[in-house]
Amino acid sequence: MKPIYASLLVLAALFGGGCSKEPQPGFTADLGIAKNYTPPADAPAEVKEMFNRYDVWIRMDFNDWKEVTNGVLGTDPINRWGAGKIDDDQRSSAIMYSQALLSNVSEKFAKTFFPMEIFFVKTYRGSFWAADLINFGRSRLIVCWPNHLIGALPVTDPANHYYMDSTLTRAIWSALGPMVAGRMATPISEFVLAGKAYDNGEALDKIFKQYEKDRDQDALNKSRDEVARNGGFITIGGSTNFDVDFGEWMKLLVTESYDNIKTQYLDNSPARARKYEVIVKFFNSYGWDIQKCGNYYRQRLGN
């Protein structure tokens, strides 16, 4: 995969209109299409259990690659190269990774806001547009397995890979962020008001135009950090819109300890400290102690 696109493809979410998780779609019986959207009878027991607990279908099988690019609530019109089916000897490790991922979110939150499917494939797209991780719409997250994002690790301990490969895990949470935000009826008002208003990228554009003139990397970094700190954002990207802002906060909280968050983000920014309190309260309202998950992730990751 081309290095320049490694991060961009993770962030290339197609932001949709907000609503809570759609009910399982009911299809017209006259067309002969299955009424219930569920794993098939011969699906692994672990896949059925995750679907029943979290309302998320861990998928791997398809007869035509267009089944992968055409989801229930979104499609990928760019893909002209197809998708490769995951190798049989990789299925169990993908299931174990999924179990670890979903164990770090509450059932109530997942059923309300998570995408309907996480689809594991061997390859996705091709040539210049090959992707290791991509989401489209709010319904489907596609993960290549094993994953070859820059910095991702080979799968040597499937049961613990979620905690070992921070590159992949954080990339997946980055992709999930806007999908979750897109399912909300409206942005979290108290969270939005705790920081500065979103500007649709105006600050980012202004800073980059200045950089194009003077090529001062230090000034660029300082300006970006200042916008984030003053506005209550994790990075300047959060100043663009709610979906990005919420997603950056969710990824940080679920993969980082409170001590590190406090030192790096809260102590130097009253706005971020306010937003932290609001968003943690929001997650708690869905039975998700997200900071506990972040503390544990950092403990397992070590450094």
Q: Classify strands 117-121 and 57-59 as parallel, antiparallel or unpaired.
A: parallel
Which residue has better confidence, 107 or 2?
107
- Overall domain count for the chain: 2
- φ, ψ (nearest 5 deg) of residue 142: -105, 130
| Residue 303: predicted pLDDT | 66
Q: What is the pLDDT of residues 156-173, one digit of tens each?
A: 999 999 999 999 999 999
pTM comes to 0.87
Looking at 141-188, list the stretches that DSSP marks H as alpha helix, in order from N- to C-terminal side: 161-164, 166-182
Residue range 191-215: mean pLDDT, rounded: 95
- Do 222 and 164 lie in one domain? The reply is no
Please give the Cα distance from 157 to 130 (Å, whole number): 26
- Do 77 and 175 lie in one domain? The reply is yes
Check whether 292 has a pLDDT greater than 80.
yes
Please give the Cα distance from 146 to 121 (Å, whole number): 9
Domain that includes residue 280, residue range: 189-301
| Residue 36: predicted pLDDT | 61
Check whether 129 has a pLDDT greater than 90.
no
| Residue 31: predicted pLDDT | 34
Q: What is the pLDDT of residues 10-65, one digit of tens each?
A: 333 333 333 445 444 433 333 333 446 899 999 999 999 999 999 999 999 999 99
Residue range 139-159: mean pLDDT, rounded: 97
Bridge partners of residue 121, in order along the sequence? 144
- Do 177 and 196 lie in one domain? The reply is no
- Do 163 and 206 lie in one domain? The reply is no
Please give the Cα distance from 67 to 118 (Å, whole number): 13
Please give the Cα distance from 205 to 47 (Å, whole number): 44
Name the pLDDT band for 136 (thresholds 50, 70, 90): confident
- Do 24 and 173 lie in one domain? The reply is yes
- Do 178 and 204 lie in one domain? The reply is no
- Do 16 and 98 lie in one domain? The reply is yes
- Do 211 and 93 lie in one domain? The reply is no
Of 134, 157, 182, which residue sits at a domain end?
182
Check whether 271 has a pLDDT greater than 90.
yes
- Do 39 and 175 lie in one domain? The reply is yes
Of 140, 158, 182, which residue sits at a domain end?
182
Check whether 246 has a pLDDT greater than 90.
yes
Name the pLDDT band for 127 (thresholds 50, 70, 90): confident
- Do 161 and 12 lie in one domain? The reply is yes
- Do 106 and 45 lie in one domain? The reply is yes
Residue range 97-120: mean pLDDT, rounded: 98
- Do 114 and 238 lie in one domain? The reply is no
Of 156, 182, 208, which residue sits at a domain end?
182
Please give the Cα distance from 46 to 139 (Å, whole number): 21
| Residue 88: predicted pLDDT | 98
Mean pLDDT of the residues in the chain: 89
